[in-house]
Structure 1
Amino acid sequence: MRHGMSKTSMDRLFLQASKQWLRGQSTSLENRKARIIRWLQYRGFGWGVTSTILERLESQYPLRE
């Protein structure tokens, strides 16, 4: 367990965040990050979970900017 969440829960959250990340393909990297941060914080996730998800998104879906 990391950040109080099981691996399964983090994987499920990552999958949902991935969909949001891919929706904003036409926006800049900073705007995409801001959207994900707002999306996760609105749902009550703290910075630990948010930063972990952002790191995974950036490594899974490298940007071409």
Structure 2
Amino acid sequence: MNQHDMPSLSARNTAVIEAASVLPPIVVSDLFGITASSAYRWAQFAQNRWSDYLAARQPGDS
């Protein structure tokens, strides 16, 4: 991706957030080569992100 001037960091972060929202932190840790504590923090971030979003949504929003 870097060879084609594509932003790899934002793509990686998106992938980690998506994985952290559906996989256990230890799996995310192994998959991305990060520490278990970092994977746990990513999982908390992913969870908070969706709960904040759902709390802010108005009934009837699509």
TM range (shorter): 0.3 to 0.5
Relative to the length of structure 2, the TM-score reads: 0.41
Higher relative contact order (CA 8 A, sep 6+): 1
- Which is helix-richer, 1 or 2? 2
